[in-house]
Each structure stands twice: as C-alpha cells, then as structure tokens.
Amino acid sequence: MSEPTDTQRMEKIVSLCKRRGFIFQSSEIYGGLNGAWDYGPLGVELKRNLKNYWWRVMVHERDDVVGMDGSILTHPAVLKASGHVEGFSDPMIDCRTCKAHLRLDQLVEKKGVTQCPICGGKDLTEARQFNLMFETHVGAAADESSIAYLRPETAQSIFVQFKNVLEVSRKKLPFGIAQIGKAFRNEINPRNFTFRSREFEQMELEYFCRAEEGMKWLHYWLEERLRFYENIGIPRERLHAREVPDEERAFYSKGTYDIEYDFPFGGQELEGVAYRTDYDLLQHQKASGKSLEYFDEETKQRFIPHVVEPSAGVDRTVLALICDAYKEDHAPDEKGKMETRVVLRLHPRMAPIKCGIFPLLKNNERLVAKTKEIVALLRPHMTVFYDESGAIGRRYRRQDEIGTPFAVTVDFETLGEKDVALRDTVTLRDRDSMKQERVSVNDLVNNLTSRIT
Ligand code: GAP
C-alpha cells in the first residue's frame, strides 16, 4: 500500500471528522458559514479532554496560578488601550480578475511578477489595512456610543482584572492568571480546515513576574508547554520551537517563541509563548487612570509587573491531535484476511471514548445483562460505548477509527460456563497492539483509570 500524499491525508482526516462526528461545517444545511465549525459528539469530548487537562496542569496542579472567565463582549476602551482598535489588522489586497480578497502574504511571485494565487491574475489592488475585530452594538442604539467588540484574544480581560484577581487571591509575584475561552477574528481567508477560523478558542496564561526575571520565565514556560504537548501524545520530533526574529515580533515583546507542529499542510503555529514586558498593564493603567501596580511588602516598592504569556489554540491543538493520531495499518477481518484499518492512535488521556464494551452475542440475555452491568460499573469513571451490533471485529474497527484505546468483550467464560476459574473475567483489547488479555471485572476500574488520567 503506497503512503497517501499530505493532501490526500488531509482529505481523509476531514472526511473522517465529518463521518464520525468530530467536526462539522457550521450552518452546513444552509451552505455553510465560512470560518466557523461545529464540534459533534466525539469532537466535543476530545476538546473537553484537552481543555480539562490544560486546566489541570496549568491551574489545579500549581500553587502559583488561579483561573478566571471573562466576558466575550469587550468595552472599546479596553481594545483601544491594548492597541487592537488601531493596529490589529492584516494587509489585504483584492484581485480585480477573480475578485478574491487576499492577505498580502498569500500572493505568489512568478518570474518576478506578483500574481493572485487563485486565478494567476496580475491586476491587483494596492494593499490596505483590514481590521480583524468583529464589531457589534450593545443595546438598542446602533451608533458610535454603543460599539463593543467580540474579544480577539482572551488575554485582555486578564490584564483588566489583574488588580481584582490579585486582591482576592492574595498571590505574590511570580503568579499567573489562566483563562480558556472563545476569541473572534474576521480572518481574510479562513483555511486549512479549522486551523484558521473566525471563531476559535484559546487557552491563555498571563504569568506576572519581576522585570529582571522575564527572560527566565519565558524559557521556563517554553519548556513546560513543549512537555504539555508530549503529555497529550504529540511527539517532540514533530514540534518545533521557533524563535520569532526581532522584525516579526510585537514591538513591546523582548522575546517570543512559536511552538509549531508539522501539519499535513506544513509546519504551522500551535501556540505562542511571548514575553510581553509590562506593556499591557501600563497601557491599561494609563488609559483607565486606575493604578495597576503591585506592592511588594518586603521592599515596600510599587511597580508594574512584567508578563510572560503562553497562548495556545484549542482548535489547532485538537486538529494536531487528530492529524498526529491518524494512521492506516493492517488488521485481519473475520475470515483472517488482512484489510486496511483506519485507527486514531490518540493518547488515552485525550480519547473521546475510553472503552468500548461488547457482549459477544446480542441475542443472549445473560451476556447482554452482564455487559450492561459492566457498563454501569465503568460509566462513573470514564466515557464508555456499548455496542452489540455486527461481528466483534467490526465493532473493534468502529472504535479504532475514533481512537477508543480499550475494548472489553463479555463472553461465555465471563458467565463461568466454560471454566469456573474464568467467571467474572473479560477480554481487554488494546487498540494499538490489538493484543487481548483476560482480566478480572473487579480490576477493570483501577486498570483503566490508571491509564486514562
Ligand atoms: N494573546 C496572544 C494571542 O492571541 P496569537 O498568536 O494571536 O496570540 C494565540 O494567538 C493562539 O491562538 C495561536 O497560537 C493559535 O493557536 C490560536 N489562534 C489565533 N488565531 C487563530 C485562528 N484564526 N484560528 C484558530 N486559532 C487561532
């Protein structure tokens, strides 16, 4: 079997995502809304597993981080002070031939002539700045005074609430405020499936520290974040920490790394880890006239803390997890003939369903009743899927394709009909090795929970 090309691989992944209920085009029955996606029953579980794990390691397992959940509707003053109203834009160009709106960096050059990447047209407009923020109106009056924005990043509400959170949490520097939530950008060209969307989710930490420790924490967080990706199953060799050069970096940043992943469509950013200095807090202090200073009780000094920000995309990480996990290998069918198996080798921690549970036969009441007992036993601890239809091999394949790491089959030995020593034991099958072992029902919860947490 020849290896699929990267384009074929991506097409297969998009098709699997729709067919098995990970990701659907938003408003699909009306022709779709470009740049917006809906997560189906399996996609929402995968996304939650990712967000919950991020929250666990970034907030719950640390003494120095607390969480918050800010509003999406944002006061225009916040985004004026942060620089988004003036400067959060991409240079845009129109192709007069095919009428496409393009980002400047999408244009192609052939024989020294700049061309439209879609139709090859050379009749292009001058570049103009296009602000990426979604503007809306709050209340009945749709005028200048009622403008609000859908936040383009979650970070700003953290800066604006810095003083409140500091006071209630009574944290000392260095400490962080974490947030997971939706962000909106009117991208000129949404593309590469969910990679560049107009509505997406971010997982952001603003880690406040003393100025002299900024670079130290930048490197600390870069390493922590790389380790995070490894712990959800993305190997280090497909991750790259790219140091963003001076000319590409925000003017206020003293150092930024992009964590990139080798997607089938190329190496692309999953997360930015940026040392943002004291820029944001200073801007908000100046614009609001409210002090955002930190008081150091030991030295009796007041100062604006600096901040290091690891900012990750939920949707991009979900896409990276699916791309990385997608494999085609070979497995025997019911008659022992080898066939192609599509398998998502998701880390058990991320898998939407942890265990498939099957009665060997669906028309045997005792087998079905025993299987349902096991479903009830495992359900409080993990997501499970009961399946009684089709041959066992088919049921395994259906779970392999959605990344379920374990499958339990209840057979006549479980009922003690063949050998009393095997009563209350089941076969436990591993998705990746396809090996089966006989385990006691009493050990199932411990055996599986230790492998999925
Ligand atoms: N607060 C810093 C910030 O927002 P960013 O590099 O613009 O920095 C951070 O965004 C992360 O958010 C990106 O690394 C990416 O994972 C995600 N992200 C940004 N724009 C996105 C888009 N249009 N679609 C999906 N994810 C996006």
Tens of pLDDT, residue by residue over 78-118, are 999 999 999 999 999 999 999 999 989 889 999 899 999 99
Mean per-residue pLDDT, 328-345? 90
The set of residues, in sequence order, having a beta carbon less than 8 Å from that of 175 and lying 6+ positions away, is: 64, 65, 66, 169, 207, 208
Block residue for tokens 């955002």: 292
Altogether, the residues listed in the chain come to a count of 453
Cα–Cα distance measured from residue 219 to residue 224, given in angstroms and rounded to the nearest whole number: 9
For ligand 1, the distance from its centroid to the CA atom of residue 312, given in whole angstroms, is 7
Q: Which helix (H) or strand (E) is 224 found in, with range?
A: helix 214-231
User: Does residue 141 surpass a pLDDT of 90?
Assistant: no
Res 341: pLDDT: 94
Binding-site residues, ligand 1, Cβ < 6 A? 153, 155, 185, 187, 196-197, 200, 202, 204, 269-272, 309, 311-313, 315-316
Ligand 1 atom 5, closest CA: 272
Q: Does residue 12 surpass a pLDDT of 60?
A: yes
What would the mean pLDDT of 285-295 be, rounded to a whole number? 98
Give CA–CA dist 420/424, Å, rounded.
9
C-alpha to C-alpha distances, 272 to 36, 119, 257, 278, 309, nearest whole angstrom: 22, 33, 6, 17, 8
Task: Provide CB contacts within 8 A for 402, sequence distance 6+.
Answer: 20, 42, 344, 352, 353
| Alpha carbon of 445 to ligand 1 centroid (Å) | 38
How many Cβ atoms from other residues are within 10 Å of residue 265's Cβ? 15
CB 399 within 8 A of CB 347: no
Atom of ligand 1 at shortest range from CA of 153: 4
Closest residue to atom 26 of ligand 1, CA basis: 313
Among 132, 153, 203, which is best to mutate for testing ligand 1, by the most ligand atoms less than 8 A from CB? 153
DSSP element (H, E) containing 323 = helix 314-325
Write the burial class of residue 191 (CB in 10 Å: 0-12 exposed, 13-18 middle, 19+ buried): middle
Tens digit of each residue's pLDDT (9 = 90 or more) over 356-380: 999 999 999 999 999 999 999 999 9
Summarised one tens digit per residue, pLDDT across range 30-84 is 999 999 999 999 999 999 999 999 999 999 999 999 999 999 999 999 999 999 9
Nearest-atom number in ligand 1 for the CA of 197 is: 24
User: Residue 287 C-alpha to ligand 1 middle, in angstroms?
Assistant: 25
Residues 195-224, mean pLDDT to the nearest whole number: 98
Atom of ligand 1 nearest to the CA of 258: 14
Q: List, in order, residues 6 or more apart from 129 with CB less than 8 Å away.
A: 89, 90, 91, 92
Ligand 1 atom nearest 154 alpha carbon? 1
Residue 332 has pLDDT above 90, yes or no: no
Do residues 368 and 388 lie in contact, with contact meaning Cβ atoms separated by under 8 Å?
Answer: yes
Residues 6+ apart with CB under 8 A from 124: 93, 94, 95, 96, 107, 114, 116
Beta bridge partners of 278: none
Q: In the predicted model, is pLDDT for residue 241 greater than 60?
A: yes
Q: Whole-angstrom Cα distance, residue 124 to residue 107?
A: 10
pLDDT, mean of residues 6-20: 96
Report pLDDT for 1: 52
7 Cα: distance to centroid of ligand 1 (angstroms): 24
**Phi and psi of 256, rounded to 5°?**
-145, 140
At residue 187, the 3 state secondary structure works out as coil
Burial annotation 166-183 (CB, 10 A radius, 16+ → b, else e): beeeebebbbbbbbbbeb
Which amino acid is present at 8? Q
With a cut of 70, say whether residue 272 has pLDDT above it. Answer: yes
Q: H/E element holding 401?
A: helix 392-401
Task: Give the pLDDT confidence score for residue 45 in this predicted structure.
Answer: 98
Calpha distance 379→133 (Å, rounded): 43
Provide the phi-psi class of 424: left if phi over 0, else alpha when psi is between -120 and 50, else beta: left
Average pLDDT, the chain: 96
Q: Which residue, judged by its Cα, is nearest atom 4 of ligand 1?
A: 153
Q: Whose CA is nearest to atom 12 of ligand 1?
A: 313
